[in-house]
Amino acid sequence: MGTPKALVGDEDGTSWLVRSVAALREGGCDRVLVVLGSSADEARPLLEGYDVDVVVAQDWNEGMGASLRTGLNALLGGQAVVVSLVDLPDVGSDVIRRLLARAVTTATLARASYDGTPGHPVLIGRDHWAGVVGTARGDRGARDYLAAREVELVECGDLATGRDVDTSPTGGQPAAE
C-alpha cells in the first residue's frame, strides 16, 4: 500500500478512516470505537471533530487479530459490535443499516456477504466476544471462530462489492483531512 491504510485518502482527499467512521455512524451505530495501530499518532488527527473513542493496538504488527482483540477488550457495554475494516472503500452506511436491520441480541452472529461470499462488516454479539478474542490471531481475525459457528449471511452484493483494497487510489498518498 505504501502507507498505513488509515492514512490513505480517496481521490477527493477524504481519508478511508473518516469515510469508515461516517459509514458506521450513518448506518446506525450509536458508538464508534476506532482501533489504530501503525502510525497511530498520524491517524489520530484525522478523527478530530468526530465523536469516536480511540484505542491503540500496541501489538498491531501481529496482524488484524491484534486490532480485533484490542477493540473487543476495550468495549465496556452493548449487546453487539459491528466490526468493519478501513480498506473497504465501497462499503457504506447502507450495508451497515442492512446488517443491523435484524433483531440484535448478545447471541447474534451475522456478516455481510457479496454475491454469496462472506465478507465485512461482521456483527458479533457480546456472547461471542471472549471466544473471538481467544482465537483472533495474525491476519485471520475472527475467521476461524466464525467458520466453526452458524453465522447469518446478509446479502449486500446489490449495495457494494465488499472488496478490500490493497493498493491506494492515490498512489499511497496520505489523506488530506
For the question of whether the overall pTM of this predicted structure is more than 0.85, the answer is yes
Give the architecture-level CATH label for domain 5-155: Alpha-Beta Complex (3.90)
Which of 74-78, 99-103, 106-110 is the least confident region? 74-78
Angle between helices 16-26 and 93-100 (to 10 degrees): 40
pLDDT in tens, 138-173: 888 999 999 999 999 999 999 999 998 876 555 544
Nearest to 174 by CA among 1, 3, 45: 3
Do 139 and 112 contact (CB within 8 A), yes or no?
A: no
pLDDT-derived band at 13 (thresholds 50, 70, 90) equals confident
**Domain spans in the chain, listed from the N-terminal domain onward:** 5-155
Cis amide prior to 174 (ω within 30 degrees): no
